[in-house]
Amino acid sequence: MNQTNYQKELEKILEKLPKNGTPPTLLLHSCCAPCSSYVLEYLRKHFLITVFYYNPNISASQEYQRRMEEQIRLIEIYNTLPEGHPVSILKGDYEPQQFLEAARGLEDCPEGGERCFRCFDLRLRRTALCAAQAGYGFFATTLTISPLKNARKLNEIGYQLSREYNVPWLPSDFKKKEGYKRSIQLSAQYNLYRQDYCGCVFSMRERQDRKQKVCAR
């Protein structure tokens, strides 16, 4: 069974975009500044991007705020650079209860499983809704840049929501072509705040358990 190469699918869309005139609009869901760093560098040449910061999976309000502030700071940096179109931000509501309800019954599911898929759907569904209501040309997510995130599942959800909300999904696998490596470089260049877990309490516990096991050896 052949798997779809979502990077190539993205490149096909970029090739068909008009070269002159006003660029198409993109509502880009972002989980954090580090993950968006390469994505914005890559896509702001082709789109007028609004970063949608909506992450109810982040369990601590202080963590949520810190990541959002770093996202804003990164956008401000990019808007001082000569290449690419300006980037704006749309701040979503902080709704951790929405994530906990979506994750109900899957609290012990390993990271990368069904709980994560429900989380993807929660965040992308809100993105698609906002994109449809505001008339964006496309919607997308930065999540596919992470080696820990299932790009196939993210794109499957994106295409399904595209059909439901009648707004085009921009497919991606941003980790391809050393996108993830570039995000690490940009994070260091701009001294971006990074964390080693997605933000949810279950992922944090899993990381802590792993560290404790390593220390106990």
Give the chain's length.
217
Looking at residue 217, what is its pLDDT?
54
**216 — pLDDT class (breaks 50, 70, 90):** low
Looking at residue 108, what is its pLDDT?
85
**199 — pLDDT class (breaks 50, 70, 90):** confident
**120 — pLDDT class (breaks 50, 70, 90):** very high
Higher per-residue confidence, 195 vs 173: 173
Note the pTM of the prediction, 2 decimals. Answer: 0.93
Whether the CB-CB separation of 174 and 144 falls below 8 Å is answered with yes
Looking at residue 1, what is its pLDDT?
53
**104 — pLDDT class (breaks 50, 70, 90):** very high
Distance of alpha carbon 188 from alpha carbon 14, whole angstroms: 28
Q: Give the pLDDT mean for 127-137.
A: 98
How deeply is 108 buried, as exposed, middle or buried, from its count of CB atoms within 10 A (0-12, 13-18, 19+)? Answer: exposed
Looking at residue 210, what is its pLDDT?
59
Whether the CB-CB separation of 41 and 201 falls below 8 Å is answered with no
Q: Give the pLDDT mean for 41-47.
A: 97
Q: Residue 82: which residues within 8 A CB-CB, separation 6 or more?
A: none
Whether the CB-CB separation of 25 and 133 falls below 8 Å is answered with no
What integer best gives the mean pLDDT of the chain? 92
